Each structure stands twice: as C-alpha cells, then as structure tokens.
Structure 1
Amino acid sequence: MKKHSFSSITITGIILILFISSISLAQPNITSSIVKIYTVYNKHSYYRPWQMMGQESISGSGCIIGGNRILTNAHVVADAMFIQVKRAGMAKKYTAEVEIVAHECDLAILRVKDKSFFAGAMPIEIGKLPEVGDTVATYGFPEGGEELAFTEGVVSRVEHQSYSHSEANLLCCQIDAAINPGSSGGPVIMEGEIIGVAFQGGYGENIGYMVSVPVINHFLEDVKDGKYDGIPSLGVPWQKIENQDMRLYYKMRDEHTGVLLNKIYPGSPAKGILRPGDIVLSVDGIDVANDGTIRFRENERTFFGYVIQNKFLGETAEFEILREGKVLKEKIKLTIPTNFCRLVPPEQYDEVPRYYIAGGLVFQPLST
C-alpha cells in the first residue's frame, strides 16, 4: 500500500477547502440575479440653469430582490432619460424605469414591466451587517468587459463615512476588494445574502466601500408606502469636549461624557428645545462619548447620530442633556432629513435648478 506523508495530505486538504470556499461564494443562483444597467442621462447645467449639459451614458450594476425589483445605486440612474438592464449570462436587454430613488443614501429601486426578464431568477435576500474580518464577495460589471466579474475581499472597517454622491455621513463598510467604475450598485454577498451595495472606491489600492445593511433596510422599509421620506437629522452642529478646561467651564462632572452643541440651525426640530451650550450626554439612553461616538458593537464605536439615523421621520428621540450644571431630559420629534439645514445644498439630481441667471443677476426663491 502506498503511503502519503502527513504534510502532503494537509496541504492537499487546505487547497481543497479553499477551492470549495471559493466555489461557495460564487453561487449560480446568485449570478443569475445580477444585473447590468445601461443609463442614458442628461444633467442640468448649474452655470446655465436654462440649459441641459447634453446626453451621456454610463453603466452600472444591480441585483434582483424580492417583489421583482432591482436594487442599485442612485448615482447609476441619476438624471436618467432612458434605462436598459440585462441579466448576467443573458443577451437581451429590457427597458427599466426608476421606481424609487434616494440620493441621500445612494440607493434606488428599478422596475421592469416585462415579467419575462425575471424568469428563472431567484431574488437575493438581505442579510445582516458583517463583522470586521468577514470574507465577502462583490459582483458587478466593471468597465473593461461585458461579462460578470467576481471578486473576494475582507471587511476592513465598519464606521460612518461621507457618501460621495450626497455628502451625507452614514454608516458604511470598507472592504479590500477594488470597486471600479461600472461596479457601482452591485451586491456584496456573504453566505448567499446581500450584506452591502458597492458604491464608491477609496484612495489607495484595493479600498472600496459598500452601503451597509442598516442603511439598506432603512431605505426598503421607508419606501414601502411608495415614496422616500429620508433619514432623520437633528440639524445641530456640535463639537468634541475632551478639553478639561472646557469640561470645567460647562460644569461637567467626572462621570459626564458628551458633546457640546454650538448652535441650532433654522428649521431644526430641536429649535426651542435644545440650546447652544447644551451638552448632549445620551440619546435614547445610549451614552455619548466626549469624541462624539457611541458604543456600536463589541470593540467598535461610531457617530452618535447613528441612533437618530435608525429612526424614521415623525418618530421621537429622547435626549439627556447637561444645561448649566443640571441634567435634563427632552424629547424631540424628528421632522427633517439629512442635509436639510445646509445653507448651500449638495449637488442636486433629477431636479430643475431653483434659480435663474440674467444679466449677471441671480434670481431665486427666498426662505421665510
């Protein structure tokens, strides 16, 4: 009988395990539900608001979810005039329409009227927020080819980042799988479920970001009534209060932690309830640290506004504040979405500019 050394058997086993693992990530029922999106768009000119910029085309990715819907990025279909979609491995393109778009969180839902488009496709379920170190797979159609691309990576970080499409500060996941033009809108998969939507690359090599599961779930729950209301915001600028002299000035005791409110913006739901100089100690019973973070998960922290962002417009949040040395509790009804209080809004999409330029003069509506 031929004998094999222990080391050769071990190496063979490891290679086999890695091979099986790779196959399991690229599941056929997943690939059949990945979609390439072709968009013809025409943006408004902000320098000449009476003109359009001219038609251009881009491509992106998406995936089929429950209810015969396609989930993708808002920036893939922003200012769209005509959209076509094609499933991975298929040749025929179908006309699609934007059903709901949320530029704030860079997500959109597309519909295809021709039901034959979905024949044989299994909708992909939304999974749970991954842990740092989890292995994930990105699916999409990056530029440079027509066929579906599949890349494995690891979740490197889970925290709040600025979404480049809207400049909103929302929870996202950083992964070490490259996200290139054309990959945007493609699902990030773990254990056969969507655990993110690829939406932007980072500086440096193999740095990509995906819209996190809590943001995706918030979006899908929000649009159940057929319209998108937005992610709540408090509309107050704040600063860290780590300096000991500042803590003494605002009469903070050793056990107190929190952030200092600098002002209350016009239109903020906190107006008349909170005041400049208040120290926010906690939100809904969750302590706020001096650097403006809250305990998110074991050994993980993130922006304290995450507590508010998990709610829906019209809901209430309870704040514990320190005012002139006294601890108070206040309830605030959340009525405005993210970026609402900005004097100069971020870039707008799917909207006609609300100003006009004539003879060097700018005419625009005035707020009350």
Structure 2
Amino acid sequence: MSSVIGKRCVCRVEVSRVEWNFLHPWQRTPQSKSTGTAFVIEGKKLLTNAHVVRSATDIRIRPHGSTRRYPAEVLYFGPDFDLALLKIKGEQEEIDFFAENGKDHICSSGKEPDAKRKKFLHGLQFATDLPALHESVHVVGFPTGGNTICVTEGVVSRIDFLGFSKSLMLTIQIDAAINPGNSGGPALNSEGLVTGVAFSTKSHKKNQPLSNIGYLIPIDIVKNFLGRCQENPSTYALSPIIPYRFHSLENKSLRLAHAVPDTVEGVLLTSVCDSMKGFLAKGDVLTGIDDRKVSNDGQVQLRGDETIQHGYLLRGKFLDEQVRFSVFRNGEHVISSPAVLRYIPTICPRWESVDYFPDYLILGTVVLLPMSTYLQCQKGCGTRLSASTTNWCQKWPHEWEGKEGLVVLTEMFSHEVCFGYNRPYWRFVETYNDIPIKCLAHLRDLWEESMEQAKESDDRNGDSNSAKTFSFVRLGLEHSDDIVFEVRAAIQAQADILKQQHIPCPSNITQSNPRYKS
C-alpha cells in the first residue's frame, strides 16, 4: 500500500442520518453523524459497507490527500452482505472528483503515468482468490482517533461462515485492529489488490470488544454483490437463504434411528422449505452440493486441508442460479435435478427500509406495530414474546398459518376508554372480533370497516341515543386477556390521542420496496 495512487482511491465517508424511532414510528430520531471509509472501484463507483450509509440524509466523500468533500448518493444497498455502492452526485462534481483523484499522478517530466499506474485512477483492482491463512494484509481506512488515513497490518487468522448483518456469510478474520470508521475500507494483499472489505469487530460481552480481532467481507462476496447490482439496473436481488435446516449425523443412535450406514456421510435435513419440494425432503441425508461432499458435521472442503460449513456454497449463489443436491433417501443415493434457489421471506422482516418500514396503527388508544420492531427493541419485550418470535422465525412461508406478518401491541395511551386495563404490553394480537389477523394492514382494514359501520348507523339513527346499537372491538392477545372497546368510544379516543400526542395520521402501511427483487 505504499503506492500513492492506491491511497488516493480510499476515501473518508461522512454521513448525516435520521433514523426511525422504532417504538413510535410516526417520529424520527434527532440527526446524528458518523464516519466510515469507501474506496473507488472500476466504473467510477465507490464501495463501502451498507451500515455506513444506512438511513443517510447526506453523504460526503473526501479522498485521501484532498480537502474537498464531494456529495454522494447510494446506488445499491445490499443489507444481506452489508455492502453498498455509491456514486458522486452531480455531473461536474463527478468530473472534478476523478480528476482530483488523479491530478497528482503526472510524472515530473509532465508525461502521463505508465499503463500500470494509470489503471489505478479507475479504481482499485480485486484479487482473484481468497487469501491464504497467515497471509499479510493491510487494512486502509479512516478510523476514529484522527482525520487522516490509517494503515494497519495484520495476518489472516481464519476463514469461516458466521452470522453477521442478520444473516450467515463467509468472513475472513484478521488480527489487525478494525475500529469505528474503518468500516468499508479495503484490505489489500502484498500486490496491492483488494482481498476483502473491513466491516466488523466482534465482542465477547456487550460494549467490550475483543483485542485485535477484526472481520473482512471476502472478495468473493464483493464480486457476488457487484454482480447482483449489474444484473438489473433498477433493482437489487437479495441473496438466497439456505432452504432447509439440518442436524449433524455424528451421533450413532441418530444414525441408527434413520438407518444411515456407516459408509454414508452427510447431515440430516430436519425441515425443508416448500420451494425445494421435489428436490429435498425432511429426513433426507444431504451428502453433497454440486460436486462438493458434505461431512457428518456439515463441513465441506474449502481448499487444501481447510474446511468450512457447507451453507456458504448456497449463500454465494445468485437468485435463480441452479444447484444439484446429492442425498441419501430410502436406502439409495439420489442426485436431484437442477434446483433453483430463491429468496425466502421471513415472517419477521430483518432490514429497515428494505423489507420493512415504519408502519403502525393507532386503534383507539392502542399502539400496534409489525413484529419487525422486535428486532430493534428486544430489551423489555419479555420472555414470552421472545419465545414466540423465535418459534415463528423458524417457520417457512407455507407454515405461516395464513398470516402475512405478525402484529404486536406495544403501548396503550392513557385515556378514559382504556381505564382499568392494567396488563403487560408486548403481546401478539391474534384476532379481531374472533377473526384471525393476517397482518397489520388486514387489522387496519377491519378497524376501518368497524368505524364505517358505526358512522352509517349514526347517519341512519340521527342523534337519538335510544336508537343506537352498540358495537364492539375485541382484540384477542396471546398470553393475555382480550381488550374490548366500544367502537364509538374508541373512535373518539383515537381522535383525542392523535391530537394530544401530535401524531399526524392514525396509521402508516407501506407497500413493498420496488427496489428489491425477491
């Protein structure tokens, strides 16, 4: 990383962001600021981490060695691999950025740089393979503690398949320090090629980071992300999810119970998504993926004597890419016809502004939110809700029992209409007048129908109280008693609460994001 040209491609990212208030999604949090790192790649684009530019209202890019900060915007946001692609905002700004990025690279003779140096003006180049264990890497970025570029050196300690960014992904562990501000910076090998992108440091306890342990997104994943961006200019295709759950077959009793001979190695499929119907089935022993053999503990050969969990073979696939599974079924070895991998939605969406939004419903005095809020507000939700959420998140779409999402009661504003309802919050709302609730939008429609019926009744009967027929809303809660409101009283309470709390609208239900293909 001694090349001045290489350093010029690494930029400081300054972000202003306004995020949701997850418990009160009709509000937003105060503006906050943070920094990260990005680097120039071919095509006059910049690569960084998704979390660096999440919820950004303003992005500024300052190249190393420059005092000018350029406006930028997000082209593609990939939360599944924590990567984002940026571009300089404005035609003239883009021209100036790349001209400034290369202005110091004219030789003293006044001639243009030679071809080998000139190509760096168009972006850092990528390595072709994963780095070897013990290979030295240089992490370049703008970590906290200063405003200038910082280069740290370390070695590759481990390559593993771990849970990050609310999904499993291939990762590289290194012993170089990665601190806030490093995120999105390149890790370069001895040839100056990008071998990974810095993105995380793990903690063994909350707010207690482990010393000298950092993680990189491997260049294989980076190329996969960029391929998804190029596949369709208007949308980003979320990566496939592993379409089954499995148990290792190291236990002798388990092998006997499923009649698995000692000569067969693989893992037992305990649950299979319906998208794999005809290819995989519960009770199959998965013995191979394409031409890679799966061991009894779920490992496959990575290279040489290195092994890794077999799931990485599937997580690196493109949507609609084909894969062949080898299974041991009913005493026979079977190779499936080519199966197509697809994105599998979860009933509790994971990524804000991607597969869930700041949706809410005020029904009378009750605040109702989609269960995705739980992912951000787990503290204080209670053990019962945590257990129920975990159970639901383990279900495949065909097991959702007619639901499209989960609704949770999080709060009840003080008002005469709910006086006496002293009970814990954070409960699933299961029914509305004994009708099973499909999702928050379905619940809103049922409530609006009740309001319309009450209005029509009042229009027919005028102001005569004796002619009024009372109607009620009964919310059936999981692990708690029902909540009952008289409809007219709840309508008035809702109006009072909206005015009192300065809530602009009684509900917000957002359509799916057209920018994401799933």
**TM above 0.5, one fold?**
yes
Higher helix share: 2
| Contact 2:244-2:271 at 8 Å conserved across structures | yes
Match of 1:261 among 250, 258, 269: 269
- 2:200 corresponds to 1:200: yes
Structure 2 vs 1, CA of residues 96 and 89 (structure 1 numbering), >3 Å: closer, same or farther?
A: same
Contact 1:48 1:357 in 2 (8 A): no
1:342 correspondence with 2:318: no
1:230 shift after superposition:
2.3
For 2:460, the equivalent position in structure 1 comes to none
Distance in 1 separating the partners of 2:341 and 2:313:
15
Tell me the equivalent position of 2:311. Answer: 305
Number of the residue aligned with 1:319: 325
CA distance in 2, matches of 1:257, 1:221: 34
Indicate the residue corresponding to 1:48 in structure 2.
24
Please give the alpha-carbon distance, in whole angstroms, between the structure 2 residues aligned to 1:57 and 1:341.
32
| Partner residue, 1:71 | 47
The answer to whether the 8 A contact 1:49-1:355 is kept is: yes
Using the alignment, how far apart are the partners of 1:335 and 1:52 within structure 2? 37
Answer yes or no: is the 8 Å Cα contact 1:151–1:177 preserved in 2.
yes
Question: 1:285 aligned to 287, 291, 304, which one?
Answer: 291
Residue ranges of structure 2 left out of the alignment (5+ in a row): 103-120, 204-209, 372-402, 405-437, 439-518
Of 39, 58, 77, which aligns to 2:34?
58
Tell me the residue number matched to 1:9. none
Q: Does the 8 Å contact 2:300/2:307 carry over to 1?
A: yes
Residue 222 (structure 1) shift: 1.4
Map 1:147-296 → 2, pairs under 5 A? 147-163=148-164, 166-190=165-189, 191-203=191-203, 204-224=210-230, 225-226=232-233, 227-265=235-273, 268-296=274-302
1:129 maps to 2:115: no
Residues in 1 aligned to 2:367 and 2:330: alpha-carbon distance in whole angstroms: 47
Structure 1, unmatched stretches of 5+, are 1-24
8 Å contact kept, 2:11–2:63: yes
Question: Offset at 1:357?
Answer: 4.9
CA distance in 2, matches of 1:80, 1:154: 33
Q: Which amino acid aligns with 2:168?
A: N
Task: Quote the Cα distance in structure 2 between the aligned partners of 1:290 and 1:229.
Answer: 32
Q: Equivalents in 2 of 1:76, 1:363: separation in Å?
A: 27
Find the structure with the greater CA-based Rg.
Answer: 2
Q: Which residue of 2 aligns with 1:139?
A: 140
Question: Could you tell me how far apart the structure 2 residues matched to 1:313 and 1:357 are?
Answer: 38
* Contact preservation (8 Å) 1:250, 1:324: no
Q: Higher relative contact order at CA 8 Å, sep ≥6: structure 1 or structure 2?
A: 1
CA contact (8 A) 1:234 1:270 kept: no
Question: Per-residue displacement from partner, 1:193-216 (whole Å, max 9, x unpaired)?
Answer: 110000001232100000001100
**Structure 1 residue ranges, 4+ long, deviating more than 4 angstroms after superposition:** 363-366
Residues 303, 357 of structure 1: alpha-carbon distance in 2 compared, 3 angstrom cutoff: farther
How many Å separate the matches in 1 of 2:167 and 2:2? 32
- Could you tell me how far 1:49 is from its partner in structure 2? 2.1
Amino acid at match of 2:302: F
Matching residue's letter, 2:171: C
- Structure 1's 141 and 364: CA in aligned 2 closer, same or farther, altered over 3 A? closer
Contact 1:183-1:198 within 8 A present in 2 as well: yes
Paired letter, 1:326: E
Does 1:353 pair with 2:358?
yes
SS of residue paired to 1:302: strand
- Residue 60 of structure 1 and its aligned partner are, at CA, apart by 0.3
Alpha-carbon RMSD across the aligned residues, in angstroms, is 1.9
SS at match of 2:226: helix
1:327–1:317 distance in 2 versus 1, CA, 3 Å: same
User: Structure 1 stretch 95-104 or stretch 112-121: which is displaced more?
Assistant: 112-121
